[in-house]
């Protein structure tokens, strides 16, 4: 039996009927057509499905949609403002931190959560913040460089 889920997605109020077993990732992708979060491992190991829940990075593939009731969800689509990418998104492009792009949304959101909490992180802080996000293409150096390039010195 479906239950009513009320939450805020990318600063917009949302109300949707969901099955109790639906994951947040499935609701975002299949019901709301926000496909930036990727279904990678579907076990919470790779970070491709990372979104922000009340500003904290979570893996949405192992989070039940109803756990977001009354809360704020930010997806990668929510970082764009009036057609302009978030500075962190632009930094990923500028320094070449994007290769295949599959991990990029999760990486960017994990980095955003870090910068929101610590606007002047060290390289070690960045590496720790993105540790739950796996990338098979970049070797992480350019990702760390992109995050540090927008940090406040």
Q: How far apart are CA 28 and CA 30, in angstroms?
A: 6
Domain(s) labelled CATH 1.10.150.120 in the chain stretch across 87-150
Count Cα neighbours of 30 within 13 Å in the Cβ-side half-sphere: 13
- Nearest-CA neighbor of 11 among 105, 111, 81, 85? 81
CATH superfamily, domain 3-78, is Beta-grasp domain (3.10.20.30)
Neighbours of 62 (CB within 10 A): 15
Domain(s) labelled CATH 3.10.20.30 in the chain stretch across 3-78
Check if CATH label 1.10.20.10 holds for domain 87-150.
no
pTM of the model: 0.95
pLDDT digits (tens, 9 = 90+) for 92-112: 999 999 999 999 999 999 999
Q: Is 153 a residue whose pLDDT tops 80? A: no
- Give the pLDDT band (50/70/90) at residue 138: confident
């Amino acid at each position: 039996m479906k239950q009513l889920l009320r939450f805020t997605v990318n600063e917009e109020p949302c109300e949707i009927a969901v099955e109790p077993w639906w994951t947040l990732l499935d609701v975002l992708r299949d019901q709301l057509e926000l496909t930036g979060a990727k279904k990678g491992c579907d076990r919470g190991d790779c970070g491709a499905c990372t979104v922000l829940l009340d500003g904290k990075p979570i893996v949405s593939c192992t989070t039940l949609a109803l756990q977001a009731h009354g809360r704020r969800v930010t997806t990668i689509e929510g970082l764009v403002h009036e057609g302009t990418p978030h500075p962190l998104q632009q930094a990923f492009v500028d320094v070449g931190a994007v290769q295949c792009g599959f991990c990029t949304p999760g990486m960017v959101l994990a980095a955003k959560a870090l910068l929101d909490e610590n606007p002047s992180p060290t390289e070690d802080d960045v590496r720790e913040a993105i540790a739950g996000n796996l990338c098979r293409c970049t070797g992480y150096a350019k990702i760390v460089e992109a995050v540090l390039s927008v940090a406040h010195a």
